[in-house]
Structure 1
């Protein structure tokens, strides 16, 4: 039978959701999580691959705004729930879903599409480049000390119930806007995301706990975490698992990490998603005992090259003509002149000679300031046409701190 990709019929949402669950392992979603996703998923933004009346493929977007270099937020199509039934593999359904999805993002006027990948080898052929990475840590807190910057001893800490502390934690999160590309502006409903705490996801650990950091009577940071009691013949070897942490300044950040690494009856602190340049790496006494491991984070795709490049600022003056290839979204292909600096940028089509040649995938990878165009050129993925242009562009695109996606979607 013919497979037709179209906007989901709202009456089919339960079947669509079941299809998503099946693709990602077949285990029904925890009721708490299901309730959250039911709230934030817009049925009008869901697409389905129909074979007759059956749903055999899924995708959808969240309308979110992602922070870009310079501190601005760009409206973005955050793609998720992409899957094809195992019975219908290798029939071009994924390609049809991505075709319809990117067309929809373009029609909506969004310059960017982003996603996180269950398998990193899938989405490069659709023009998505790896733009952020995440650092996982497993700290031997029995042997690692945290050196707290000056002022840390003036910070006071107190336990507060997670729900009670939610609003002040959101205030701390909001004050960090403009400091690191890759973060999302909280859309309505998403303030619930950091509070989700399904028991089945804890691996035997405690419900989420929250500690607030204060100075001069004002909340200046927070940390949310779990603790898991572990014992062996030698005594306690409990595990602390970080959920998220926010701090207004380095002293507060150091004080919160010192607290995590000093909780009684524990000897390990785990953190699954931190920026690759986390300041903690400079505060620990022995980085080798922190079990640092890097993996992929968010993939970025310019849907409108001109609008995307004009929506961020640049660390140094740049005036470069890019020759962009885009096999999947041909409207982006051609030459684009980017002129910009720390105050803003313009990007428009041009007939001028190219300075740098690359595909939209590499442009997406470099867009948030993470992988440099120079490093991509060293991998043979970017080509310098005018001598000196690659260095100019590479310096302009990079940022003082690495981009980072703090949570999934």
Structure 2
């Protein structure tokens, strides 16, 4: 008998979880407590597995998510995670079956896009996903950065201040601050109450190690919370009693340049900290140029991050904003899903309309490449040079460049 794809029951969940951990080369989940803790926050109707002779050999789950698009609106996303195929069952089409079932359900629910963080680059393009945001991480050599240790760490212009707070304060202040970030930053995804609890030490499963971080909040002179930084610090010293401590930032939200400047200045001014690891940031983050010597920030990670797959092209393209007034006819190829077709896209700063059409196409492209263009990160000119976009009307690629590109790059701060 061929392996059976089905949604997972509570009694099958322990086997499914072992398969997930097996696939990601993590210690197997065998304790009843761990299974109980995970099940309490899992919607089994969106957990799929492939079973062969009663054993789970492939895993897949999804959950509801909101994605911020260009202009600040949000669209419903089918967030995909925990995708594995056991090494003994590769190359049998199991992922294709799981993906097809999930995307069909997402389309039926009315989700506009599907999203994921790709563990491996080559896998998901064949299912219509394209990288929509990228991430960069820096490591700052603090003594070399050129900061004056005798001057105040904060911006003197706005009178703001940074104060250390507790996790309970973050649970109160964080959601509203994150909502303000999401309203202005394409690529940001939603965080529910459970997210804020887990990331401030509440309800962390017993099997997961937890070390309380430091939380720093930036307030303006008027008391408005405009920024939050979360970091942990090491305690390493040289044989000659010189500090060699590293601060590792796990999250920094700033809704103004002043807040961003103040928080990075604060982290880089902490006594005994000689190295700062920034965590995942937007590739065009302000940080390196905030330092007197930007070369002190060494790039340690530069990689694709959030991948998207359009499920409803008209709703997706109408949801975002555009800075110019143009018309394009897009011929979208979708060999594995529901998003293909020819669409007339009319855009202007006041809104957009995207409808099916029989007009001759200006551009032809795969749905995965439209996903890379969607949040404004990718260049239509570059995709054309790579042979991924076909120009059927002279000047259409240049038009697409002005239609889709944004002044600042999208950024997704989270992993899921």
Q: TM-score, normalised by structure 2?
A: 0.90
User: Post-superposition shift, 1:153?
Assistant: 6.3
Matched, 1:190 2:195: yes
User: Post-superposition shift, 1:29?
Assistant: 6.7
CA distance in 1, matches of 2:297, 2:170: 29
* 1:385-400 alignment runs, 5 A limit: 385-400=392-407
State the SS of the aligned residue for 2:143. Answer: coil
Matched, 1:226 2:235: no
CA contact (8 A) 1:227 1:238 kept: yes
Matched, 1:170 2:175: yes
State the SS of the aligned residue for 1:380. Answer: coil
Identify the range of structure 1 (59-68 vs 285-294) with the bigger mean alpha-carbon deviation: 285-294
Residues 1:216 and 1:33: Cα distance change in structure 2 (over 3 Å): farther
CA contact (8 A) 1:23 1:84 kept: yes
Matched, 1:322 2:323: no
Moved over 6 A (4+): 29-36, 197-202
Residues 1:326 and 1:217: Cα distance change in structure 2 (over 3 Å): closer
Query: How many equivalent residue pairs?
Result: 406
CA contact (8 A) 1:225 1:243 kept: yes
State the SS of the aligned residue for 2:12. Answer: helix
* 1:364-403 alignment runs, 5 A limit: 364-403=371-410
CA distance in 2, matches of 1:261, 1:250: 16
Matched, 1:295 2:288: no
- Write out per-residue CA displacement over residues 63-108 of structure 1, whole angstroms, 9 at most, x where no aligned residue: 0110001110000101111111111111111111111121111121
* 1:115-194 alignment runs, 5 A limit: 115-145=116-146, 151=156, 154-194=159-199
Counterpart of 2:223 in structure 1 is 217
Residues 1:46 and 1:220: Cα distance change in structure 2 (over 3 Å): same
State the SS of the aligned residue for 2:370. Answer: helix
CA contact (8 A) 2:154 2:161 kept: no
State the SS of the aligned residue for 1:180. Answer: coil
Q: Is there any run of 5+ residues in structure 1 with no aligned partner, and where?
A: none
Counterpart of 2:362 in structure 1 is 355
User: Post-superposition shift, 1:343?
Assistant: 2.8
- Write out per-residue CA displacement over residues 37-87 of structure 1, whole angstroms, 9 at most, x where no aligned residue: 545431111111122422111111110110001110000101111111111
User: Post-superposition shift, 1:334?
Assistant: 2.7
Residues 1:340 and 1:185: Cα distance change in structure 2 (over 3 Å): same
Counterpart of 1:278 in structure 2 is 285
Counterpart of 2:16 in structure 1 is 16
Residues 1:399 and 1:36: Cα distance change in structure 2 (over 3 Å): farther
State the SS of the aligned residue for 1:44. Answer: helix
Counterpart of 2:105 in structure 1 is 104
Counterpart of 1:404 in structure 2 is 411
CA distance in 1, matches of 2:208, 2:156: 36
CA distance in 2, matches of 1:145, 1:166: 35
State the SS of the aligned residue for 2:259. Answer: helix
Identify the range of structure 1 (155-164 vs 119-128) with the bigger mean alpha-carbon deviation: 155-164
State the SS of the aligned residue for 1:361. Answer: helix
User: RMSD of the TM alignment (CA)?
Assistant: 2.5
User: Post-superposition shift, 1:216?
Assistant: 3.0
